[in-house]
Structure 1
Amino acid sequence: MEALVGILTGGGVIIVIIIVLLALLFGGLRSSILFTVKTQENVIVERFGKFLRVAKPGLNTKIPFMDTLTKPISLRIRQLEVNIESKTKDNVFVTVPVAVQYVIREESVQDAYYRLSNPEAQIRSYVFDTVRSALSGLDLDAAFESKDDIARSVEATLSTRMQEFGFHIVNTLVQDISPDQRVRDSMNSINAAQRDRVAAQSLAEADKIKRVTQAEAEAESKRLQGEGVAAQRRAIAMGIAEQYEMLKQVGIENTAEELLLMTQYFDTMQDVARNGRSNVLFLPSNPSSVGAMGDEIRSALLQAQAANDTINGDSTPVNPAEPVDGEGNSREHIERLRAEAKERARRAREEARRNAEGAAQSAREHFGE
């Protein structure tokens, strides 16, 4: 009987122990023994306030009442925005927004948690110091051109300083360099003036090229016109020579020059009437003027005819005292008469030419503009 009571008593104790263990596992003490860590996070386990280990993502255990957990430490890339107000070398105050992307290295979670109480404030201090040092030696224009250099300088400084604390600087971006609104307006005015000057220079160059091209075209046109006029005059001269030869061939040798002068005179009148710039043609106001021109032309023709008759035959009487040939004229007298006849013919031709030219000039004056 006593043995049975002992068995029952021992069994009850075991059952109580099992019940307590189940209560601990599935009751309120479960959260004190088991805990989970999410992906891209770490948790530091401390025992009585002393660092014990770093809990990785997944299911982890700890001893209740002895071990404590810190807040989850994120291993994702984070970005810190820093707005810095500084002064350039030419005493212009600018605002420089800087974005710093950083991450805690997984193997340095302990250093990142314990060595810096406020890592963001530490990063801000380094960024302020680096950017202000860089801008103090640059003018405003040079600062705009050196924006990437400033970003690289900030990144190099942060990487060196923050690496020992367990932080890795992924990237540093200088987003903008923004001066005061009045300074920006002044810069825009300067840029606009420079662009206007460049535009004016371009227009002047274009106009210069246009004028030079036009001058070259006009010079070439005048050169070609001169060649055309020369060719025209050469053709006219050749035509006159051919006409003169044709007149000589048909027997009009002595009056050929007078006929050509008359032809040139009438050609001049036709050219004045055809190519005049005015639609009005002025003629002599009375019949006597027209008659005078006709008399000049007629006189020139008669003088030319008289010269021709003189050359063909002379009726000058022979002096009886002089030796004569078989026809009753001495040789010297005949030679003298011939010379005088040739001289009179030459003078008559010259007079006819001058009269014809005078008539042509009168025609130009009467019929011109």
Structure 2
Amino acid sequence: MLFTPIFLFIVAIVAFLSIVIVQQGTVAVITIFGKYSRVLTPGLNFKIPFIELIYRKISIQNRSVELAFQAITADQANVNFKAMLVYSVLNQEEETIKNVAFKFIDEASFMQALIRTIEGSIRSFVATKRQSEILGLRSEIIEHVKSQIDTLLESWGYHLTDLQLNDIAFDEVIMRSMAQVVASSNLKAAAENEGQALLITKTKAAEAEGNAIKISAEAEKTAAQLRGQGVALFREEVAKGMAESAKVMSEADLDASLILFSIWTEAVKHFAENSKGNVIFLDGSTDGMEKTMKQLLAIEKLNGAADTGKK
């Protein structure tokens, strides 16, 4: 009877040691006498006490790590990187779990290898580029790293889910020089734009002024033509009137000089009525009158000859 409680106690201990509960998102690697045996999935599992041992529990969830390191460009500029790496176990297949469990002696060794591999891949890429190119090659750097380490990570049983370059910065001296280059480039662009705007403004103003001068000249030309035509018509009408008057006076046996005298007196009257000045100077002497009459008779003869030629 004494052995019954002892037996029950041993059975309870064995049962307790046989039960293995694996948490969700985790698998357990079982070994027998140090050799791989099998993988326990999440949930309630059983193992042989004292023979089967849990070698390692492996998380199959995504894990992240932050990186901070420095690289040197082809033109010897120091570039400071801050990155975040997201990785996970490739899948839950047995061969993949064996690689994760046995490729590295512990988790710290794997992390060191992973970080140094990514840093080396980025450094090798940056070493082929100039500092002025680096800031615009963020996506190219990420693609380069993934293409370089995806196969290697798969052989370790892992997969690179994401790589983010959160910050790319140069040394303070280089940053100041780059800022000066950008500022000078902006000033140059602003000056060029201002010069182009001023040129366009001046060109448009000159074109407008030229068009205004052209329009004014055309208007003046047209006005001069109209004035000339008016004067010509006026003279033509005057000549016709004088010819008619001379004809009537000749038929009445009167001296045609009276027409000229009448024109002379009408002109003096017109000057007096319409002139804006206070004094009108006319040569009222006999010689002046005779001279004026001769000029008017000469004009009449020219108009008469012109009319004869037209007929």
Q: Which bin holds the TM-score, normalised by the shorter protein?
A: 0.7 to 0.9
Which segments of 5 or more consecutive residues in structure 1 lack a partner in the other structure?
A: 1-11, 271-282, 284-289, 313-340, 347-369
CA contact (8 A) 2:22 2:45 kept: yes
Residue 235 (structure 2) aligned to one of 233, 244, 251: 244
| Cα deviation, residue 173, structure 1 | 2.9
Task: Label 1:168 to 1:96 Cα distance change in 2 as closer, same or farther (>3 A).
Answer: same
Misfit runs of 4+, over 6 Å: 255-264, 300-304
Q: Matches of 1:222 and 1:16 in 2, distance apart?
A: 129
Task: Label 1:311 to 1:235 Cα distance change in 2 as closer, same or farther (>3 A).
Answer: closer
- Pairing 1:306–2:290 present: yes
Q: Matches of 1:232 and 1:260 in 2, distance apart?
A: 26
Q: Matches of 1:120 and 1:257 in 2, distance apart?
A: 125
What's the counterpart of residue 17 of structure 2?
32
Which segments of 5 or more consecutive residues in structure 2 lack a partner in the other structure?
A: 246-258, 303-311
| Cα deviation, residue 229, structure 1 | 0.9
| Cα deviation, residue 115, structure 1 | 1.1
Paired residues for 1:1-369 under 5 Å: 16=4, 20-21=7-8, 23=9, 27-105=12-90, 106-107=92-93, 108-117=96-105, 118-251=109-242, 294-295=280-281, 298-299=282-283, 305-307=289-291, 309=293, 342=298
Task: Label 1:260 to 1:140 Cα distance change in 2 as closer, same or farther (>3 A).
Answer: farther
* 1:175 partner SS: strand
TM-score (normalizing by structure 2): 0.76
Q: Matches of 1:143 and 1:81 in 2, distance apart?
A: 20
* 2:151 partner SS: helix
Range with greater deviation from structure 2 (299-308 or 194-203) = 299-308
| Cα deviation, residue 145, structure 1 | 2.6
Q: Matches of 1:149 and 1:214 in 2, distance apart?
A: 51
| Cα deviation, residue 53, structure 1 | 1.0
Task: Label 1:144 to 1:262 Cα distance change in 2 as closer, same or farther (>3 A).
Answer: farther
Q: Matches of 2:177 and 2:265 in 1, distance apart?
A: 87
Q: Matches of 2:175 and 2:16 in 1, distance apart?
A: 61
| Cα deviation, residue 47, structure 1 | 2.4
CA contact (8 A) 1:100 1:172 kept: yes
CA contact (8 A) 2:77 2:170 kept: yes
Q: Matches of 1:173 and 1:238 in 2, distance apart?
A: 89
| Cα deviation, residue 203, structure 1 | 0.9
Let me know the Cα RMSD of the aligned residues. 3.7
- 1:257-303: per-residue Cα shift (whole Å, max 9, x none)? 99899989x99x87xxxxxxxxxxxx9xxxxxx86xx33xx128976
- 1:175-228: per-residue Cα shift (whole Å, max 9, x none)? 332111221121111101101111110111111011111111111100110111
TM-score (normalizing by structure 1): 0.65
| Cα deviation, residue 52, structure 1 | 1.6
CA contact (8 A) 1:42 1:54 kept: yes
Q: Matches of 1:301 and 1:54 in 2, distance apart?
A: 147
Task: Label 1:63 to 1:114 Cα distance change in 2 as closer, same or farther (>3 A).
Answer: same
CA contact (8 A) 2:260 2:293 kept: no
Whichever structure has more strand as a proportion of its residues is 2
Task: Label 1:47 to 1:309 Cα distance change in 2 as closer, same or farther (>3 A).
Answer: closer
| Cα deviation, residue 46, structure 1 | 2.1
| Cα deviation, residue 84, structure 1 | 1.7
What's the counterpart of residue 322 of structure 1?
none
CA contact (8 A) 2:29 2:55 kept: yes
**Sequence identity (%):** 18
Larger Rg: 1
Q: Matches of 1:95 and 1:200 in 2, distance apart?
A: 34
Task: Label 1:259 to 1:201 Cα distance change in 2 as closer, same or farther (>3 A).
Answer: farther
The size of the alignment, in residue pairs, is 278
Q: Matches of 2:298 and 2:231 in 1, distance apart?
A: 24
CA contact (8 A) 2:18 2:49 kept: yes
* 1:209 partner SS: helix
